[in-house]
Structure 1
Amino acid sequence: MIEMSPLRQRMIEDMTIRNLSSATQRSYLYAAVTKFSRYFGRSPDRLGLEDVRAYQVHLVSIGLSWPTLNQTVCAPRFFFGVTHGHDEIPERIAYACTPSKLPTILHGDVRFLEAIPSLKTRTALTTA
């Protein structure tokens, strides 16, 4: 049987107490404990807010999708806020904002507008 660190065991217990799903628990453990700590080569309890920020910059630079980035951010927020007991750190870890997408603008296809016989309707469609 593989021995589990007390920190990892505590995080699992904290997630179980809060009734997080097993999929969320796996995701948080893998994102917060494994990937995050491996990136810096240290235990996550020895990392801080600036390390979380540097990790976020790294994740954005490798092209991680916004929903995945937010899920990855939730794990350190949980770890630092609940398991590690640093109430001030989670509030300062920023979520990624989904980039707003501009709507597709129809090209001014003149043939479509020329096919409308009524000047009033053509003007209304052109304005719209």
Structure 2
Amino acid sequence: MLQDMTMRGFGAHTQKDYIRHVRNFAAFLGRPPDTATVEDLRRFQVDQHERAVGSATINGAVSALRFFFGITLGRPEMALALVVVRFTPKLRVVLSVEETARLLEAAPGIKYKAALSVAYGAGLLLATSGMMQRV
């Protein structure tokens, strides 16, 4: 698999991720991944959903397993059994005019008030408690 990825010009980070995903699949199976069946792939994906694995991680595993089965093993019928997860982007919370005014008034000094005003005017985002908010 490493040789196939190297021949196709995959970066080191991508190669590491693909190997990790195939290794996780092998750990799930409890046997070598090249012995997997279509049903094994289905059970693996169901298990990922039940464990609430993020959609980006699931899609990374799908790409890695499609490469492993389709290119490395030459079993494209296995790659067709994998399902890509669609995800909806989270909407950003936008501060109201009143909230923005309160934010600017809460600045401890003129320097901070100026910096926040410039950031707001430029449309920059402020990370607040895990969510992106418009300053």
Q: Specify the TM-score bucket, using the shorter chain as the normaliser.
A: 0.5 to 0.7
Q: Amino acid of the residue matched to residue 39 of structure 1?
A: F
Match for residue 74 of structure 2 among 56, 66, 85? 85
Runs ≥4 in structure 1, deviation > 3 angstroms?
Answer: 99-104
Any idea what SS the aligned residue of 2:87 has?
Answer: coil
The corresponding residue for 1:16 is 6
Any idea what SS the aligned residue of 2:14 has?
Answer: helix
Match for residue 50 of structure 1 among 23, 39, 54? 39
Match for residue 35 of structure 1 among 24, 27, 41? 24
Q: Amino acid of the residue matched to residue 48 of structure 2?
A: L
Q: Amino acid of the residue matched to residue 23 of structure 1?
A: H
Q: Distance in 1 between matches of 2:47 and 2:5?
A: 26
Q: Which protein is bigger by CA-based radius of gyration?
A: 1
Say which structure is richer in strand.
2
Q: Distance in 2 between matches of 1:95 and 1:21?
A: 22
1:68 aligns with 2:57: yes
Instruction: Name stretches of at least 5 consecutive residues in structure 2 with no aligned partner.
Output: 94-135
Aligned-residue offset at 1:103: 9.5
TM-score by length of 1: 0.66
Q: Is the 8 A contact 2:62 2:84 kept in 1?
A: yes
Q: Amino acid of the residue matched to residue 81 of structure 1?
A: G
Q: Amino acid of the residue matched to residue 30 of structure 1?
A: R
TM-score by length of 2: 0.63
Q: Distance in 1 between matches of 2:91 and 2:11?
A: 35
Any idea what SS the aligned residue of 1:92 has?
Answer: coil
Aligned-residue offset at 1:72: 1.2
The corresponding residue for 1:118 is none
The corresponding residue for 2:108 is none
